[in-house]
Amino acid sequence: MSKQWASNNNGAFKRQVSSFRETISKQHPIYKPAKGRYWLYVSLACPWAHRTLITRAAKGLTSVIGCSVVHWHLDEKGWRFLDMEKQLEDKGDFLEHWHDAAGGIKTAKEDASKSFAAIKNDSERFMVDATNEPHYGHKRISDLYYKSDPQYSARFTVPVLWDLETQTIVNNESSEIIRIMNSNVFDEFVDDKYKEVDLVPEHLEAQIDDFNSWVYDNINNGVYKTGFAEKAEVYESEVSHVFEHLNKVEKILSDKYAGLEAKYGKDDRQKILSEFFSVGNQLTESDIRLYTTIIRFDPVYVQHFKCNFTSIRAGYPFIHLWVRNLYWNYDAFRFTTDFNHIKLHYTRSHTRINPLGITALGPKPDIQHL
C-alpha cells in the first residue's frame, strides 16, 4: 500500500494544505445560505471531520445541512461509500437519517466498543460501517474531488462541504467549515435556541485563536507528527512536545476548576461543570477542536501512535473531567463520537504502523462515566 501521509526526507510528518477555501454568505456571488443546498461528507474516525459534525449539531444545523459518512477503512484509493442499491430497502425511511447528528450511523454514542475480530475491512454493514452517497451514486470521496476539479492531483481528504446547486466543493478545510457553520448565515433556518449559540464570541475570539494555534500544532497535529514519524529522533521530539502541551492544558483546566470552586463552593459540582471549559466560561470552538483529539487519545493514540508517557485517565485528572463532561452532558459531542469507527480506522488503515491489523480492545470502557 502506498503512503497515506506526507513525509519529509528527515522522517517528519507534513500535513497537506487544503485546496478548496470558499465561504457561504448572503453577500457571496455564488454560495448563499439555503436549507438543503449544502451537504457534509465526513468520516466518523477523522478528528478533523469530527469537528464539523459537533459544530453542525451544536448549532442546530442537522436539518439544514445533510450528511453522508464514509467507511472507516481507508484503502489505497482513499475514502469510500457503500452501495445504496445493494443495501436500501425503504428509501423514504432511509433519507431521514441524513439529518441525524452522526449521519445515521447506528453505533455512534455507544460508550463501549465490542469485539473487532470478525469484522473485515470490506465489511458492508449499512448504517454501521458507512452510508452511501445519495446524490450522484458516487463510490468514493475522490469522485467528488474530480467532479469539482478534473485536474485535481492532491490527496482526497474529509471533511468536504459540498454545494448541491453548483455541484462543487465549497470548502475542505475543517477550521473554516466550523467558522462558516458558527456564523449567523443559517440562522433563519434553525430554532431560536440555536441562534443564541456562539462558539466564537467576540469578547473571547483572541483567546480562542491563541489557544487553537498552539493546541493545533502540538496536540491536534502533534499526535500525528508523533505517530507517523519515520525516525526515532523525530518521534522522541514530537512525543515530548505532545505531553509538554497536555501539561499546559491540564494546568489551565486545573486553575479554571479551582476558580470555579472558589466561586460556587466545592460541593456544587453541577454549577462548576456548567462553566468548566477551556476558554472562558462557556462552550467554545476551542473545546470542540481539543475534544476530537482527547477523545481519541486513550482508545487509539496511546498505543497506536506511541503517545504513551501516560493516558488521559491516568495522568490528567482535569482534562479527564473536562472531556467526560463534554461527552456525557452535551449531546453534540456524544452523539457524534463512534469508538468503533475510531479504533477500526487507525488500526486497519495504517498498515505500516500496524501491519497485522489487530485492533486493541482496550481501554475499557472507551470513556468513563462522570
pLDDT tens for 136-169 read 999 999 999 999 999 999 999 999 999 999 999 9
pLDDT of residue 97: 72
Q: What SS3 class is residue 168?
A: strand
pLDDT of residue 1: 29
* DSSP count for the chain of H helices, then E strands: 16, 6
- When pLDDT is averaged across residues 260-277 and rounded to a whole number, the result is 98
pLDDT of residue 8: 61
- When pLDDT is averaged across residues 296-320 and rounded to a whole number, the result is 99
Residues 49 and 12 in one domain: yes
- When pLDDT is averaged across residues 303-307 and rounded to a whole number, the result is 99
Neighbours of 228 (CB within 10 A): 24
pTM for this structure? 0.94
Residue 28: is its pLDDT beyond 60?
yes
296 part of a folded domain:
yes
220 part of a folded domain:
yes
Domain boundary among 177, 195, 213: 195
Mean residue pLDDT across the chain = 94
pLDDT of residue 15: 63
The set of cell numbers assigned to 261 is 470552586
Domain boundary among 173, 195, 217: 195
Number of independent structural domains in the chain: 2
Residues 154 and 102 in one domain: yes
Residues 237 and 125 in one domain: no
Residues 177 and 225 in one domain: no
Q: How confident is the model at residue 238 (pLDDT cuts 50, 70, 90)?
A: very high
Higher pLDDT, 2 or 225: 225
188 part of a folded domain:
yes
Residues 17 and 155 in one domain: yes
68 forms beta bridges with 41
pLDDT of residue 96: 64
351 part of a folded domain:
no
Residues 157 and 77 in one domain: yes
Measured distance CA(109)–CA(337) in Å, rounded: 6
166 part of a folded domain:
yes
15-24, 38-47, 199-208, 252-261: lowest mean pLDDT where?
15-24
Residue 6: is its pLDDT beyond 80?
no
The active-site residue, picked from 12, 46, 160, 180, is 46
pLDDT of residue 139: 96
Whether 14 contacts 42, CB under 8 Å: no
Q: How confident is the model at residue 3 (pLDDT cuts 50, 70, 90)?
A: very low
Range of the structural domain that residue 88 is part of: 6-195
Residues 211 and 191 in one domain: no
The set of cell numbers assigned to 8 is 519529509
Residue 298's CATH number: 1.20.1050.10
Residue 71's CATH number: 3.40.30.10
Residues 218 and 185 in one domain: no
Residues 249 and 276 in one domain: yes
pLDDT of residue 19: 83
Residues 236 and 166 in one domain: no
Q: How confident is the model at residue 7 (pLDDT cuts 50, 70, 90)?
A: low
The one-character DSSP state at 70 is -
E strand segments, the chain: 6-7, 13-14, 38-42, 66-69, 160-163, 168-171
Domain boundary among 195, 219, 253: 195
Q: How confident is the model at residue 219 (pLDDT cuts 50, 70, 90)?
A: very high
Residues 175 and 274 in one domain: no
67 is catalytic: no
356 part of a folded domain:
no
pLDDT of residue 102: 95
Which residue is it, cell 497536555? 246
pLDDT digits (tens, 9 = 90+) for 170-198: 999 999 999 999 999 999 999 999 999 99
Residues 189 and 239 in one domain: no
120 part of a folded domain:
yes
Amino acid symbol at 314? A
pLDDT of residue 40: 98
370 part of a folded domain:
no
Residue 237: is its pLDDT beyond 90?
yes
